[in-house]
Amino acid sequence: MTPNTESRRFAAPVSGLRIEGTVALVTGANRGLGRHFVRQLLDRGAARVYATARRPETIDLPGTVPLRLDVTDDETVRAAAAAADDVTLLVNNAGVSNFTDLVTSDLAAVRAEMETNFWGTLAVVRAFAPVLAAGGGGAMLNVLSAQSWHAYPGTNGYHAAKAAQWALTNGVRTELDNQGTLVTGLHLGAVDTDFSAAYNGPKGDPAVVAGAGLDGVEAGSVEVLADDWSAHVKASLAGDPRRIYDEIRAGVV
């Protein structure tokens, strides 16, 4: 059932946000892809960059404002939103993969993936949505994955959590368009960071991926496919799902 169209209408498309002069906050900013986001935001002329982590003392990039933020801890999320009440660009980068299967892995490890990738992202979104509104709308960039759209043995808890986070991103976009907030989803395959250290296949350049995400924000894109694999998987959704899994079995990825 769809909502009453007289009471809930989609707003006009939200335009892009220029990075120069913006005030940005990046979750999971102390390493990996998050660190690349912080560096590129500074290089592009962001007026202020809040670099957040569970242990802010691990953030060593000069020119940042380190903040404690654990996306699974509501108290630190609320405190970060109160401290960074001038944010106009939110980068939801924090994530975790515990390399779980859904049927046989420890259920607590599977739950932890959903707690961080879905519930943690949602907690940050809810805390910062009023901040973005107060600043004129701004933008939100959610770091998703090609695994939002495909399963893979040994990482299926992550797949389920990222699929939920993709749905979250789409839903939040419809809820925040009336306040003028651009919500962009960034999909990527494996990149060469600590996060993907256990993966032996080809890996992309995290600097290129971060740049693609920020380019998408500036262009007003609602979805960015950062590499050929993400584009290929997205295109496969219109066909027989067996084809993409035949490719995975054959070692295409």
Q: pTM to 2 decimals?
A: 0.91
Residue 130 is which amino acid? P
What percent of the chain stands above pLDDT 90?
Answer: 83
- CB under 8 Å, gap of 24 or more: what pairs does 203-209 form? 206/32, 206/33, 206/36, 207/36, 207/40, 209/33, 209/36
Confidence of residue 169 (pLDDT cuts 50, 70, 90): very high
Distances (CA, A) of 206 to 15, 40, 49, 78, 163: 26, 11, 19, 29, 21
Task: Flag whether pLDDT at 21 surpasses 60.
Answer: yes
Model confidence at 186, pLDDT cuts 50, 70, 90, reads: very high
Banded pLDDT at 190 (limits 50, 70, 90): confident
Answer yes or no: is pLDDT of 163 > 60: yes
**Each residue's pLDDT tens digit, 112-134:** 999 999 999 999 999 999 999 99
Q: What pLDDT digit, counting tens, does each position of 58-69 carry? A: 999 999 999 999
Helix (H, G, I), strand (E, B) or coil at 47: coil
The CATH architecture of the domain made up of 23-192+203-227 is 3-Layer(aba) Sandwich (3.40)
Return the pLDDT at 5.
Answer: 46
Residue 63: predicted pLDDT: 96
**Residue 21 and residue 182: Cα distance in Å, rounded?**
17
- Quickly state the pLDDT bin for 250 (edges 50, 70, 90): confident
* Percentage above 70 pLDDT, the chain: 89
- The dihedral built from the CA positions of residue 188, 101, 197 and 72, taken in this order, carries a sign that is positive
Q: Which of 123, 130, 157, 135 is nearest to 52 (CA)?
A: 123
Confidence of residue 191 (pLDDT cuts 50, 70, 90): confident
Whether residue 253 is predicted with pLDDT greater than 60 in this model: the reply is no
Q: What is the mean pLDDT of the chain?
A: 92
pLDDT digits 0-9 by tens, 33-65: 999 999 999 999 999 999 999 999 999 999 999
249 vs 188, more confident: 188
Structural tokens at position 38? 């912080």
Q: What is the arithmetic mean of pLDDT over 185-214?
A: 79
